[in-house]
Structure 1
Amino acid sequence: MPELPDLEVFAANLQKRFKNKIVETVDVTVAKKLNVTVDELKQAVEGHGLEQVTRDGKTLQLHFKNKAVVGLHLMLHGEIRPLDGEEVKFKIVSFHFKGGDGFALTDFQKQATPTLNPEIAEAPDALGLTGTYFAELLAKKKVQIKVLLMDQKHIRGIGNTYADEILWAARISPFSIAKAIPEMQVKKLLKIIKELLKQEAKDIAKELPHELHGEIKDFLKIHSPKLEKSPTGAEIQVEKKGARKTYYTDEQELYS
């Protein structure tokens, strides 16, 4: 599943390719995922230019010049696929621009979700966290810190992979209780969240300067089945809970 750094890159690449192009037609293949009727979506964006593409949490947002916004949530297996002549399967919705270019939101599970004019989320984006909000959030939560970092109702954008990467970089065990983490470690964790996610996005952008899908795992330090030791030589341990795996080392301190 794409996380914040991947989606930052996809948003930038979509904007580079489609900014100022005018939508000629919108084709909806899976209408049940829409929050409006197909006609309402078409009326909102057809004939209008794409002004900007942004990322908000785990959602890509298409901003049109008439102020309409279409949010694209990829869910677990969704992808953005260019319509460049090759067959594109499992389309949810497709945007065709004047001049022949276009892209589609796809998902073989049919779970990826397009939303017209999505509501503004209450929870902050991971890159927009303030020290006060983050400290107060952790201080009142008895849940494990990894669970909290991934809870989109409180912090948007971080998933399983980067929760592990962030916590290893901060040397905090993923099994630590959020409210037990000392104040100085909370400040360090917040700093690492922002720095690590931004750096990952920069590194991925260098590898995928034009791509609209695909995930680069080359820069991960511990969250990979291919790795046996951390960069500092500690053995990487794995705990599996359901379909989710947590990667960590003994270098990370447990606060409980």
Structure 2
Amino acid sequence: MDEQKRKLKERLDRVWDPPDFTSLFSEPDAPPVQFVKKGSVLFNTGDPLGRLYLIREGYLKIYRLSEEGRETTSYLLGPGQLLGIRTLLSKDDRTLHAAEAVTPLKVQTISRKECFDRIANNPEILVELLQAYRDRLALTEKKFESFIYASTTPRVAIFLADCAEKFGIKVKNEIEIGLELTHQRIAEFVGAFRETVTLSLHRLEDEGIIRVNRGRVTVLDLQKLTDYTTFGRKR
């Protein structure tokens, strides 16, 4: 068995492990780490599509603007996650969303051609990309499911549970979400007014499920938060 087949088989044996893009962005010819300031736009809607970004540190949002100028956040991405997966297979040559740093960022970036060249030499990378597609699809399905709820609170709960899973830091029996979440940012993601989101956060706090302090959300009871996402309780 040659080296490429061995690596691919080893990765397939761990098919349910989270994606790891180290080999895609590592030596030889590792792309340099770029520093991006908070508020900087990596690309706008309609820009040429052709690069992949690996987030090393920090967080960014993927969003769209309506004709009325209202912003809707589609995804939040953090350390270890890949931006630009559509670049590989989409026939579109323009981006459908914009990407903006919500904190200072460290990223690496490669072109579509560079990505294909690296896959040819390291076919196990295909498994990492499939895992990333799976995770993105699961998040999209979960977000669409949340919109069947008339109440905003289940939608907020789904968003916070996802952030706790992706960005959470476990401290004793609590989970601190590493990203600062303003009421407006949550509203842009769940498709609600900021005032309504504020009421939902207060409700979750009153039930002892979360704690909010200066934009930092701590999950106190993940099971109860998950109950909201599972049953869509409307109180």
TM-score where L is the length of structure 1? 0.27
Higher helix share: 2
TM-score where L is the length of structure 2? 0.28
